[in-house]
Structure 1
């Protein structure tokens, strides 16, 4: 049963991807546009360092490392989970009722509904920045940090995806809650691109632990740089991003199931 369900999902995704690849020149241009959009955020960071020598106690190359981890993670999540932004429309128009009639999970159906391959450009830009940052920082190389370089962006992508699910699940109760959802999802991306040390205490605590954005890039960067946390956090926080990602995914899944069970349709 699980194999057949996975096969159906694979066919749905494959059909979407084949359709987008029909116009390859347009696809390439869209990928480049997304990459440039991602690199614009990096340009803002570099402009800041024209005025200051350090940001929150971190040098320009160290901040680029955090930006690269966060940008790569967000790019993956944007590709996989941003389709959830359409949930309010699905609810208002009654389209979500159709998903309930299919013998497939509603969350996976939403995520597979409109995959946009052009968003690969964001991921490529993040990876390029990551390669640069690794070459321009004194990385504490070891088998553990080598694995962390791969695992951290993937864990960050899971965390961002879980945030997307949680934020948009609110729309089952508040149909016009999209602005709130966007503030949480895209706000988390902005938060993770900079050191947590630059934020006020209340904002840092909210985006670091209520919404675990600090585990996307800040703490993994400390591990890669072999630096103690300037905020006084214990050293083990730098290594537990996969566990935080797993916990976030479990919570997001439970909240989504609860929201769907309480969904009563549009009444139309």
Structure 2
């Protein structure tokens, strides 16, 4: 019941912001197009790299674009849903979090829906188009398991990025000026997962697998879809661990957020 109410309140607040944004349709359309174009720059960088080399870390262009598409789509959806939680530190400094705490809606929902705009849809256009084009071109045996893994990895990727957004935002209850550091995990993680992790050192890959679980956004599931061996020899079963990792990370984020709220001391505003 509480979860249903939270989803309903999120939808109502998001719809309020959408209606406000729709009052200026020309501006909304232009901003949406600009967002889509900016989102395509990462894909353009990948294409430029392949103009100079036939493979990147042993992966061909369709395979790397598959990694880009799944990562960018997951991140775009998670960013649209929870990206504004990174503003928590600003709300604490300005005292506006105190106002949110006396309203009959979770502060997390209020911050997450802040300035919600349909232009956020522009972020999903490029990765969705890339996936539609590149998936049929992958040289793999499309078993039912691999077919099911593609939407599953996108959904679990959304959950992992959403968990990271909330978890890193929760750090700002302690480190109010930690906004820049949290971006290195969220935006940095999004950039990292667009490329084969085999580009990086063994210890680094272990770190983004077992410490900050970015490898489960798309790398480990993609190894199964692409029928590739793990370059550093991690257990085969990790390819299917993303749902468990996503659930654990979201649970940890929820605990961290509640602990932050419990120990928060009002600014007195």
Place the TM-score, normalised by the shorter chain, in its bin: over 0.9
1:239 & 1:7 partners in 2: Cα distance?
A: 31
Partner of 2:187: 186
Cα deviation for residue 84 of structure 1 reads 1.0
Cα deviation for residue 240 of structure 1 reads 2.2
* Cα gap change, 1:8 to 1:66, in 2 (>3 Å): closer
Cα deviation for residue 263 of structure 1 reads 0.7
Cα contact 1:79–1:117 (8 A) shared by 2: no
Partner of 1:135: 136
Query: TM-score, normalising length from structure 2?
Result: 0.93
Query: TM-score, normalising length from structure 1?
Result: 0.94
The C-alpha deviation readout for 1:54-108, integer Å capped at 9, x for no partner, is 2122111111100000010011011011111211110001111111112222222
User: Which residues in structure 2 correspond to 1:152-191 (within 5 Å)?
Assistant: 152-191=153-192
The C-alpha deviation readout for 1:175-216, integer Å capped at 9, x for no partner, is 111111111111101110111110123332222321111111
Cα deviation for residue 223 of structure 1 reads 1.5
* Cα gap change, 1:267 to 1:202, in 2 (>3 Å): farther
Cα deviation for residue 4 of structure 1 reads 5.2
Cα deviation for residue 119 of structure 1 reads 1.7
SS in 2 for 1:228: coil
Cα contact 2:73–2:124 (8 A) shared by 1: yes
The C-alpha deviation readout for 1:124-173, integer Å capped at 9, x for no partner, is 21111111220221233122222221121111011111111111211111
Structure 2 residues not aligned, in runs of 5+: none
Q: Is the deviation greater in 200-209 or in 150-159?
A: 200-209
SS in 2 for 1:49: helix
* Cα gap change, 1:114 to 1:49, in 2 (>3 Å): same
Partner of 1:238: 239
1:105 & 1:258 partners in 2: Cα distance?
A: 14
The C-alpha deviation readout for 1:13-50, integer Å capped at 9, x for no partner, is 21111112222222222122111111110111111122
Partner of 1:216: 217
